A = this chain, B = another copy of it.
């Protein structure tokens, strides 16, 4: 068994594929708002979104809610922190996810280093996503919303049509804003013809140039 540099420090490979989770994972169907795991529960499993969307969240002492991340088809989640989940995870919409026991994955990794490779790739991607999230959070409201739209455009389509699976409240809690501010900002972006709201959850990026300048 030989391990080369690219397997230990993999580049960002395609996120969908027939990896260990696909082979060993058990499928699970979830209704809207169904809890997948709770805050502080032991982190025994990893999850991969097949269809639908998942959010991780955390309730603060004063009742505010912070969304840690949104996970879309192909994304892996459940690896936050060491032994216990720091966030809870819920389905945003009707969803299907694959579930795999971490211990089973570890056993497999012992025999097949492409599995360890896959795991490192996933972790690196999560690291990059969190850094992106930090960068967004220090900006103004308009920059946060624009940054969010760009992120979603890149993840759900790559094109200019963005279908948002989550509510304004979810977006607000992800960006550390209120729903009113998110709504007002969206309206403003529409006023200046930077975006078009085909419906509340269908958005077209009309002018990436303008949006880019608003992105800080």
Residues of B within 8 A of A11 (CB): 82-83
Is A190 an interface position by the 8 A CB rule?
no
Nearest CB in chain B: distance from A101 CB, A:
9
Q: Are A86 and B128 in contact (CB under 8 A)?
A: yes
- B66 lies within 8 A of A107 (CB): no
Q: A80-B131, A138-B176 are in contact. Are A5 and B66 (CB under 8 A)?
A: no
Q: Could you tell me which residues of chain A, from 25 to 70, have a CB within 8 Å of some CB in chain B?
A: 58, 60-62, 64, 66, 68
Contacts of A134 in B (CB 8 A): 66, 68, 130, 133-134, 137
Residues on B with C-beta less than 8 A from A123 are 120, 123-124, 127
Q: Is the CB of A5 within 8 A of B81?
A: no
Q: Do the beta carbons of A127 and B128 come within 8 Å of each other?
A: no
- Closest Cβ of chain B to A116, distance in Å, is 7
Asked if A8 and B124 make an inter-chain contact with CB atoms under 8 angstroms apart, the answer reads no
Question: What separation, in Å, do the CA atoms of A190 and B105 have in the docked complex?
Answer: 50
A109 on interface, CB distance cutoff 8 Å: yes
| Complexed CA–CA distance, A123 and B79 (Å) | 11
The smallest beta-carbon distance between A118 and chain B, in angstroms, is 12
Rounded to whole angstroms, the CA-CA distance of A124 and B103 in the bound complex is: 17
**Is the Cβ of B124 less than 8 Å from the Cβ of A82?**
yes
Within 8 A of B (CB), among A71-100: 79-83, 86-87
Docked complex: A134-182 residues within 8 A CB-CB of B: 134-135, 137-138, 176
Closest to A83 in B: B11
Contact B81 A131 (CB under 8 A): yes
User: Quick check: is A192 within 8 A (CB to CB) of the other chain?
Assistant: no
B-contacting residues of A (Cβ < 8 Å)? 2-5, 7-12, 58, 60-62, 64, 66, 68, 79-83, 86-87, 102-103, 105-107, 109-110, 116, 119-120, 123-124, 126-128, 130-131, 133-135, 137-138, 176, 216
